[in-house]
């Protein structure tokens, strides 16, 4: 399953997919999607798939994490494997929608305790130049790494002893970090929210009134656009699943709607529209909220394998699933009122091994886990291999 969690075009992966796509950064050379999960209205980023370079290389690069920065700029994080068995992490950037790539600097952070390079858990770009990497593990939180120059350099940003950074989100010039305080047993509580301006290295805490008791163990996610911030909270039991919204840059939240689900993730690219994906056990459901009006989308995943909703704008989104009666890729251009079939998913017909990210309604990248990066320019009707 590849589900967009957060932030404008923000993506974080669901926990199962995140475990597959985390990388141990082993070298500094020149980071999503989570599924994780999406940026003028496309100037934010999300973590998703991978891409390559046509030039031949002495080593094989296995793509694993893709972060879209705009409709044409995309970053790909991958692992380089050599015949000797040695491996290293590489980060590539494309300025032409994935046709070709060039290397940029990997976000490297070493553990203060062990000195070892920490895994990159998520990668989000809120513009072609501004990106945020979340590093560390659930029990070993570490500072964020931020680039303001298109991954030519990365800067360490500490939020103090706030806790574990759950996700970042943003768009329209604003960036937010969702932080949870967690025990050694993994129980999380005390939602904290930090805000920054895209392009800045300075972060400040905002009050986030109205979120007390809202955190469950990892079952909380964020989307944001400008001064509007959405949180989905709850685990199907306590706290009760709900969508919370703030219209004052996170200073206070109110309950927007109840959510009948186990857990939900969302994406936004305007002040008034948020797309929400909810797990209902072994199936997924999709909802669009626009200025407080809730619309259930007329599609549902028959299972959690290879099922996703990929918003392109407030009115356009791509739905895909490898299971049930909706097998294939579908597009809506009317805010989810109806969907039209446009193509197919690459790779296996079931399981969680395929991830897809669309830069536009026609141009997208697909990755069959462990395989090469695939690219489509016709909405998923045909796919070609892009080699790193």
Instruction: Quickly state the pLDDT bin for 196 (edges 50, 70, 90).
Output: very high
- pTM value is 0.81
pLDDT of residue 81: 74
**pLDDT tens-digit readout, 217-227:** 557 889 999 99
Looking at the predicted structure, is the pLDDT value of residue 94 above 60?
yes
pLDDT of residue 64: 79
DSSP E strands, 234-368: 242-246, 254-258, 263-268, 273-279, 284-290, 293-301, 308-311, 317-321, 328-332, 340-343, 354-358, 364-368
pLDDT of residue 33: 29
Mean pLDDT computed over 85-94: 84
Concatenate the DSSP letters of all residues of 188-243 into one string: EEEEEEEEEETT----EEE--BT-TT---SS-EEEEEETTEEEEEE--SSSSPPEE
pLDDT of residue 153: 96
Instruction: Quickly state the pLDDT bin for 130 (edges 50, 70, 90).
Output: very high
**pLDDT tens-digit readout, 317-370:** 998 888 777 888 999 999 999 999 998 888 766 555 677 889 998 999 888 777
CB 103 within 8 A of CB 91: yes
CB 225 within 8 A of CB 270: yes
Least reliable range by pLDDT among 87-91, 100-104, 199-203, 305-309 = 305-309
Looking at the predicted structure, is the pLDDT value of residue 61 above 50?
yes
CB 306 within 8 A of CB 350: yes
Looking at the predicted structure, is the pLDDT value of residue 251 above 50?
yes
Looking at the predicted structure, is the pLDDT value of residue 315 above 80?
yes
Q: Which tokens go with 376?
A: 């489509």
Mean pLDDT computed over 267-274: 88
**pLDDT tens-digit readout, 154-195:** 999 888 766 778 889 999 999 999 988 766 666 666 788 999
Q: Which tokens go with 345?
A: 């998913």
Contacts of 306 (CB under 8 A, 6+ apart): 1, 2, 320, 321, 322, 323, 345, 348, 349, 350, 351, 352, 353, 354
Please give the domain boundaries of the chain with CATH numbers for all domains. 15-386 (2.130.10.120)
pLDDT of residue 58: 47
């Amino acid at each position: 399953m590849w589900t967009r969690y957060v932030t404008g075009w923000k993506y974080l992966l669901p926990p199962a997919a995140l475990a597959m796509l985390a990388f141990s950064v082993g070298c500094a050379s020149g980071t999503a999607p989570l599924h994780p999960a999406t940026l003028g209205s496309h100037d934010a980023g999300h973590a998703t798939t991978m891409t390559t370079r046509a030039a031949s290389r002495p080593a094989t690069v296995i793509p694993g994490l893709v972060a879209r920065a705009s409709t044409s700029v995309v970053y790909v994080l991958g692992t380089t494997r050599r015949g000797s068995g040695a491996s290293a992490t590489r980060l590539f950037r494309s300025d032409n929608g994935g046709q070709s790539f060039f290397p940029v600097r990997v976000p490297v952070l070493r553990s203060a305790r062990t000195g070892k390079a920490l895994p990159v858990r998520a990668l989000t770009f809120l513009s072609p130049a501004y990106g945020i990497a979340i590093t560390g593990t659930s029990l070993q939180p570490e500072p964020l790494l931020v680039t303001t120059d298109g991954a030519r350099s990365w800067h360490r940003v500490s939020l103090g002893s706030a806790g574990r950074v759950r996700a970042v989100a943003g768009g329209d010039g604003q960036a937010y970090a969702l932080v949870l305080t967690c025990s050694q047993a993994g129980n999380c509580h005390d939602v904290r929210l930090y805000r920054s301006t895209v392009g800045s290295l300075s972060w400040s805490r905002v009050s986030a009134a109205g979120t007390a008791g809202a955190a469950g163990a990892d079952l909380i996610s964020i989307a944001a656009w400008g001064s509007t911030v959405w949180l989905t909270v709850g685990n199907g039991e306590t706290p009760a699943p709900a969508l919370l919204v703030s219209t004052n840059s996170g200073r206070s939240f109110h309950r927007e709607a109840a959510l009948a689900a186990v857990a939900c993730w969302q994406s936004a690219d305007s002040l008034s529209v948020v797309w929400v994906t909810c797990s209902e056990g072994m199936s997924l459901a999709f909802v669009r909220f626009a200025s407080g009006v809730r619309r259930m989308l007329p599609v549902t995943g028959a299972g959690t394998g290879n099922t996703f909703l990929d918003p392109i704008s407030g009115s356009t989104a791509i739905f895909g699933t490898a299971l049930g009666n909706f097998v294939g890729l579908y597009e809506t251009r009317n805010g989810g009122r109806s969907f039209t079939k446009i193509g197919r998913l690459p790779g296996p017909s079931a399981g969680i091994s395929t991830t897809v990210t669309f830069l536009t309604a026609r141009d997208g990248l697909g990755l069959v886990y462990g395989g090469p990066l695939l690219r489509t320019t016709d909405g998923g009707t045909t796919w070609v291999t892009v080699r790193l």
